[in-house]
Structure 1
Amino acid sequence: MYLAACIEWLFAAEHPSFPDRIHAAKAAGLTAVEFHLWRDKPLAEVRRALDETGVRLASMVVEPRRSLIDPAQHEEFLAAVRDSLRAAKEAGAPALVVASGFTRPDVSRQEQHDIAVGVLKQAAALAEQAGILLLLEPLNTRVEHPGMFLDSTAEGLDMVEEVGSPNLRLLYDMYHSTVMGEDPAQVLAGRFHLVGHIQVADVPGRHQPGSGTVDWPRYVGVLRDLGYAGAVGLEYKPEGPTLETLATARATLGL
């Protein structure tokens, strides 16, 4: 396992220039970064900074964000996937993140689930052609994302399994999962082959690991036991100078 700094938040206070955050991550001993939306980023400069430093880009987000569960938005969603796949190639990102969109209260949950699986099959086919991984991310509905349809790791894994594409995997964000009361050992048991990326932040507050109540030695132990060897995205909001929070996160995670 290796750490990937979410430079949307990490190094942001110290370095307003986005490419400078990549250099700062390198100077801090990190080998990978990730960020959220890409349309407001200088992708050519980002790619140059990645090439200059040798830092890898772990992921960015499909945008504009559109609903998977509303067929009226599917055309726009697939157009966003196509645009984002091209941007991922330009920036050097191997993976793109998608979320479900908000629940439609007048439609049954099963129908919404099936609608999402249908459009994810189309998006996964586009990703297969491009050689890019799509990451489906469940988001918590208790703090930041009330009304979001997909807030369950188990249902997210069901969707990935139903789509059946090697280019669609689950983004398991330990923060969102913990907020929803899930236990990683339980929700990932027997299904970890469907997970493509991990992100972390502490609970409560979404700050650096070591700032809250999560039992990180046990959580990291679960990942080790499952054989995870990929990026662990530090998607937290620094509670203090980035380098100080990084030191806390590294010591807490043991990575």
Structure 2
Amino acid sequence: MSHNINRRKAVKNISLSLGAIGLTGTITASSLGEKEDNRIRNQIDLKGNINHAACRWCYQDIPLQEFAEKGKDIGLKAIDLLKPEEWQTVQSLGLECSLATDTFASITDGFNNPKYHEKLQKQYLELISKASYKGIKQVIVFSGNRNGISEEMGLEQSAKGLDILVKHAEKNNVTLVMELLNSKVDHKDYQCDHTPWGISLVDKIRSNNFKLLYDIYHMQIMEGDIIATINKYNKYIGHYHTGGVPGRNEIGNKQELNYPAIMKAIVKTGFKGYIAQEFIPTYPDKLAALKEGIAICDV
């Protein structure tokens, strides 16, 4: 509001100084307002029930500054999976980093294997501190691949490896979220590939600062029964990702998931976190695909 008032005041002062309030003021206001008018035309009339986000890696060919600016115009409140050097870019535009990561984060070499604990703990302790300092509330972690590790041993080792990090996260008002990924198509041998395994890990750790990232695309491939799972386990979930099945592309009517129904189920649980679009756009205009995805999920 103050921005608009200051802009109008500036326009008026320019007009008065030139002694031509009518014509000069009209032209100046039109010029200054053109960018805002374009922004308004790009916006979606959102209902306010969903905190929309998008994963940065799906739009890597668009410079981050441009992606953040245009993403904000079409309804994004946050961007997922940003590294520390990227946080300020989005925050300066009034967006959040909804899920922090860094280059060391590994899907394959994770907390289920004790040989990675010392290195990961050192790196994640620093990342959690950085995220807390910048007001970022969530950091992503991964179980790692099985590589012969049993389900029970994977749970035990993951809980041990994460213990010091969860305690640090508690002190710093940060939540660690472990992503559920499919091991059939995209991430062969990944251990946290079923919701019950993830639930068991959350129960073992027993902290409000450790939750699951429920990726709808991945869990449709592994389990299906998406809405029933969300209804049953929503208190364990701190974050959601989308994606079309099959193919991980746009979430419109050419794939098998009913995203409006899924979003309504999530809203009904009282979820107040972020839901991030994580499909790989196939449209020539990738931002148009993102705008469509936001509109589909805005229930």
Q: Shorter-normalised TM-score: what interval?
A: 0.7 to 0.9
| Residues 1:238 and 2:284 are matched in the alignment | no
Equivalent of residue 217 in structure 2, options 168, 175, 194: 175
Offset from partner CA, 1:44-78 (integer Å, 9 cap, x none): xx414422x21122112255124211111100111
Q: Counterparts in 2 of 1:17-96, with a 5 A limit?
A: 17-35=63-81, 38=83, 42-43=85-86, 46-51=87-92, 53-61=93-101, 63-64=103-104, 65=106, 66-89=109-132, 91-96=134-139
Q: Letter of the 1:24 partner, please give it.
A: K
Question: How far is 1:168 from its partner?
Answer: 0.5
| Residues 1:9 and 2:51 are matched in the alignment | no
Which runs of no fewer than 5 residues in structure 2 stay unpaired?
1-49
- For the 8 Å contact 2:155–2:200, the answer to whether it is kept is no
CA RMSD of aligned residues (A): 2.0
Runs of 4 or more, structure 1, over 6 Å off, are none
Question: How far is 1:221 from its partner?
Answer: 2.3
Q: Letter of the 1:30 partner, please give it.
A: L
Offset from partner CA, 1:192-218 (integer Å, 9 cap, x none): 111111111111111121142111122
Q: Is the alpha carbon distance of 1:121 and 1:42 closer, same or farther for their aligned partners in structure 2, counting shifts above 3 Å?
A: closer
Cα separation, 2, equivalents of 1:108 and 1:143:
21
- For the 8 Å contact 2:53–2:276, the answer to whether it is kept is yes
Offset from partner CA, 1:216-254 (integer Å, 9 cap, x none): 122112212222222111111111112221232133223
Identity %: 22
| Residues 1:150 and 2:192 are matched in the alignment | yes
Q: Is the alpha carbon distance of 1:174 and 1:49 closer, same or farther for their aligned partners in structure 2, counting shifts above 3 Å?
A: closer
Larger relative contact order (C-alpha < 8 A, sep ≥ 6)? Answer: 1
Q: Is the alpha carbon distance of 1:6 and 1:246 closer, same or farther for their aligned partners in structure 2, counting shifts above 3 Å?
A: same
Larger helix proportion of the pair: 2
- For the 8 Å contact 1:63–1:81, the answer to whether it is kept is no
The match for 2:42 is none
Cα separation, 2, equivalents of 1:184 and 1:161:
21
- For the 8 Å contact 2:231–2:265, the answer to whether it is kept is no
Scaled by the length of structure 1, the TM-score of the pair is: 0.88
- For the 8 Å contact 1:62–1:97, the answer to whether it is kept is no
**The 10-residue stretch of structure 1 (232-241 or 20-29) with the greater mean CA deviation from structure 2:** 20-29
Q: Letter of the 1:57 partner, please give it.
A: C
Q: Letter of the 1:3 partner, please give it.
A: H
SS of aligned partner of 1:8: helix
Offset from partner CA, 1:13-61 (integer Å, 9 cap, x none): 3x2x32332122123232211125x2xx633xx414422x211221122
Question: How far is 1:178 from its partner?
Answer: 0.6
Question: How far is 1:183 from its partner?
Answer: 1.5
